[in-house]
């Protein structure tokens, strides 16, 4: 059996952190233990398997430990040898214990496969049970959901929708996805997307909390708690799909305590700190699911890590997934920033230069160099990784549907993460890499035909439902079944 330094150290660290004695060590003792298990590779890089059960690489320029997926090439992994770290190990790199048992779920997008029917039908039942509530008792209350839904839609419908969007790992949905189409009659305008995919923004915890907090501040405590209970019910249903599970579990950890102790947030309502109160209730082992809210930069790093893991197939084709991920990041930044300017960019400044400057600090020196070369040098070999004609480069073509769906989800999640970090508007037509990944999935049926579910209501007049019946002037044309 061949030696794999990264596999051996990972196994050793997992056993070490799982030992009950780990929690008894002082912070200095834990840092010393992890430092003794540092790996050195032939290129002079140093690696630690640390917090969140992920790898960190020592930046040779700034001397910091960066979250970074490990190399995949067998020769590099075999040549890695233990080499005690001399650089200080900061507290955020040292495993606390609970972070090692976090269930990361799946990075797949919702295009191949669809959300299972048993989930969609249970969500449909929630809408049927709560759609008739009064808008006076459950208003949208001026929040961002007013831009999504028609004026007569209640906060209860928005609570179900908001939970779905917040729990989704990467909200890129098949245009025919039942989980979205059941909301069609409630929407004020077409969802952003193209002929095959609805490219939706990441759900906002602020918006979700706002539905509940507005009712509590108004004195309608029963209505506020009912909305919180509806969010918990929706999250409980969604967690059966691994693409929803991590964030659904985190949301349940924040909301469920209210169902038995309804007074928990009363102290936070007057000061407007309900969101902070919710986040404080998230169990430690589920905290990574809230990184988009608590640390957008770390969330970007984890998303790029996921993208690197989704590119493992390129290792067998002679390419290092780490550098391929950096090249794909460059492709998306180039494609998006050429069409729009970040809100914070000074007048006349290059959007691409601004975003690159912002992202540099969140990449280790190796990824930073690959990112820069792919972005700045059209002749660089890394440009071979960029999509061409709306399709993936041959070296990236996935071998099966599951791999394609994972690449699609991870690429879209990474795009949303760097846009969130830099203040760049999310493109309504998707990111170049994720859009190209769709081409590997659109000709494969991913739904379960079965009997068509009954509509939530009968529409008698096409004018009544707006865009759903518009076939000539709609921004998005009717979609053929996959």
247 and 201, same domain (yes or no): yes
What's residue 354's pLDDT? 86
What's residue 482's pLDDT? 26
Q: Is the pLDDT assigned to residue 258 strictly greater than 70? A: yes
- For every residue of 414-431, DSSP letters joined together read HHHHHHHHHTPPPPTT--
**Distance from C-alpha of 217 to C-alpha of 202, rounded to nearest angstrom:** 26
Handedness of CA 454, 456, 459, 463 (dihedral sign): negative
Number of structural domains in the chain: 3
123 and 235, same domain (yes or no): yes
Q: Is the pLDDT assigned to residue 427 strictly greater than 50? A: yes
What's residue 445's pLDDT? 54
129 and 227, same domain (yes or no): yes
Q: Out of 182-196, 290-304, 433-447, which region has the weakest mean confidence (pLDDT)?
A: 433-447
287 and 308, same domain (yes or no): no
**Distance from C-alpha of 131 to C-alpha of 112, rounded to nearest angstrom:** 29
Q: Is the pLDDT assigned to residue 37 strictly greater than 70? A: yes
In a domain, 111, yes or no: no
**Distance from C-alpha of 264 to C-alpha of 91, rounded to nearest angstrom:** 31
What's residue 326's pLDDT? 97
Q: pLDDT (tens digit, 9 = 90+) per residue, 104-123? A: 999 999 998 899 999 999 99
Q: pLDDT (tens digit, 9 = 90+) per residue, 78-87? A: 999 999 998 9
Q: Edge to edge, what strands does the sheet with 46-50 contain?
A: 65-67, 54-58, 46-50, 39-40, 81-82
Q: Is the pLDDT assigned to residue 190 strictly greater than 90? A: no
Count the neighbouring beta carbons within 10 Å of the beta carbon of residue 127. 18
Q: pLDDT (tens digit, 9 = 90+) per residue, 372-393? A: 999 999 999 999 999 999 999 9
Boundary (domain end) residue, out of 259, 274, 293: 293
How large a percentage of the chain has pLDDT more than 70? 89
The token pair at 175 is 């245009």
Q: Which of 243, 96, 87, 216 is nearest to 155 (CA)?
A: 216
Residue 479: DSSP 8-state: P
Q: Is the pLDDT assigned to residue 143 strictly greater than 60? A: yes
What's residue 352's pLDDT? 81
Q: How confident is the model at residue 195 (pLDDT cuts 50, 70, 90)?
A: confident
Q: How confident is the model at residue 446 (pLDDT cuts 50, 70, 90)?
A: low
Q: pLDDT (tens digit, 9 = 90+) per residue, 268-310? A: 999 999 999 999 999 999 999 999 999 999 999 999 999 999 9
Overall average pLDDT of the 232-247 stretch: 97
315 and 268, same domain (yes or no): no
Q: pLDDT (tens digit, 9 = 90+) per residue, 311-365? A: 999 998 999 999 999 999 999 999 998 644 444 445 555 678 889 989 999 999 9
117 contacts 446 by C-beta, under 8 angstroms: no
237 and 128, same domain (yes or no): yes
In a domain, 446, yes or no: no
Q: Is the pLDDT assigned to residue 479 strictly greater than 80? A: no
287 and 307, same domain (yes or no): no
Boundary (domain end) residue, out of 278, 293, 308: 293
42 and 153, same domain (yes or no): no
Q: How confident is the model at residue 194 (pLDDT cuts 50, 70, 90)?
A: confident
Q: How confident is the model at residue 481 (pLDDT cuts 50, 70, 90)?
A: very low
The token pair at 342 is 């970040």
Mean pLDDT of the residues in the chain:
87
In a domain, 472, yes or no: no
What's residue 25's pLDDT? 93
414-438 b/e (C-beta count within 10 Å ≥ 16 → b) = bbbbbbbbbebebbeebbbbbbbbb
354 and 428, same domain (yes or no): yes
**Distance from C-alpha of 50 to C-alpha of 39, rounded to nearest angstrom:** 12
Range of the domain at 75: 5-100
Q: Is the pLDDT assigned to residue 229 strictly greater than 60? A: yes
What's residue 347's pLDDT? 53
How many helical (H) and strand (E) elements, i.e. helices and strands, does the chain have? Answer: 17, 7
14 and 35, same domain (yes or no): yes
In a domain, 449, yes or no: no
55 and 75, same domain (yes or no): yes
Overall average pLDDT of the 51-72 stretch: 94
Q: Is the pLDDT assigned to residue 467 strictly greater than 70? A: no
In a domain, 23, yes or no: yes
Q: Is the pLDDT assigned to residue 480 strictly greater than 80? A: no
In a domain, 416, yes or no: yes
Q: Is the pLDDT assigned to residue 476 strictly greater than 80? A: no
89 and 125, same domain (yes or no): no
Q: Which of 438, 420, 428, 456 is nearest to 189 (CA)?
A: 428
In a domain, 110, yes or no: no
In a domain, 445, yes or no: no
Q: Is the pLDDT assigned to residue 406 strictly greater than 50? A: yes
What's residue 252's pLDDT? 98
More confident residue, 467 or 137: 137
Q: pLDDT (tens digit, 9 = 90+) per residue, 7-27? A: 999 999 999 999 999 999 999
Residue 275: DSSP 8-state: H
- For every residue of 188-202, DSSP letters joined together read SSPPSB-SSEEEPPP
Boundary (domain end) residue, out of 100, 131, 163: 100
Whether pTM > 0.75 for this model: the answer is yes
């Amino acid at each position: 059996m061949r030696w794999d330094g990264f596999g051996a150290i990972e196994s050793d660290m997992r056993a070490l952190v799982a030992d009950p004695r780990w929690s008894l060590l002082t912070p200095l003792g834990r840092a010393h233990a992890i430092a003794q298990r540092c790996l050195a590779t032939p290129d002079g890089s140093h690696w630690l398997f640390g917090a969140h059960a992920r790898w960190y690489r020592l930046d040779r320029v700034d001397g910091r430990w960066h979250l970074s997926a490990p190399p995949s090439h067998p020769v590099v992994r075999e040549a890695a040898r233990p080499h005690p770290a001399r650089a200080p190990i900061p507290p955020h790199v040292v495993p606390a214990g609970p972070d090692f048992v976090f269930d990361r779920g799946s990075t797949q997008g919702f295009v191949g496969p669809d959300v299972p029917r048993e989930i969609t039908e249970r969500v449909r039942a929630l809408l049927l049970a709560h759609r008739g509530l009064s808008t006076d008792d459950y208003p949208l209350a001026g929040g961002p959901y007013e831009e999504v839904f028609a004026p007569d839609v209640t906060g209860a419908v928005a609570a179900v929708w908001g939970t779905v969007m917040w729990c989704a790992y990467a909200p890129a949905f098949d245009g025919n996805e039942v989980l979205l189409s059941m909301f069609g009659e409630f929407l004020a305008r077409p969802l952003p997307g193209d002929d095959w995919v609805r490219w939706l923004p990441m759900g906002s915890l602020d918006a979700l909390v706002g539905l509940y907090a507005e009712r509590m501040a108004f004195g309608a405590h029963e209505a506020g708690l009912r909305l919180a209970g509806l969010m918990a019910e929706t999250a409980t249903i969604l967690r059966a799909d691994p693409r929803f599970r991590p964030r659904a579990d985190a949301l349940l950890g924040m909301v469920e305590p209210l169902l038995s102790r309804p007074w928990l947030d009363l102290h936070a309502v007057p000061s407007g700190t309900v969101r902070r109160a919710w986040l404080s209730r998230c169990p430690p082992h589920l905290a990574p699911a809230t990184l988009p809210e608590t640390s957008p930069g770390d969330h970007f790093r984890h998303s790029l890590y996921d993208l690197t893991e989704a590119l493992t197939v390129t290792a067998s084709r002679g390419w290092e997934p780490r550098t391929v991920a950096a090249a794909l990041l460059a492709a998306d930044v180039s494609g998006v920033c050429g069409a729009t300017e970040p809100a914070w960019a000074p007048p006349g400044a290059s959007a691409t230069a601004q975003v690159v400057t912002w992202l540099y600090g969140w990449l280790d020196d190796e990824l930073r160099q690959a990112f820069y070369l792919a972005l700045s040098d059209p002749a660089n070999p890394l440009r071979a990784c960029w999509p061409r004609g709306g399709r993936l480069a041959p070296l990236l073509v996935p071998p099966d549907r599951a791999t394609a769906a994972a690449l699609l989800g991870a690429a879209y999640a990474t795009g949303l993460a760097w846009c969130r970090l830099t203040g760049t508007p999310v493109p309504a037509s998707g990111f170049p890499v994720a859009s190209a990944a769709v081409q590997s999935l659109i000709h494969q049926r991913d739904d379960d035909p079965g009997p068509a579910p009954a509509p939530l209501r009968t529409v008698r007049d096409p004018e009544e439902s707006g865009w759903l019946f518009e076939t000539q002037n709609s921004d998005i044309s009717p979609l053929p079944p996959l």
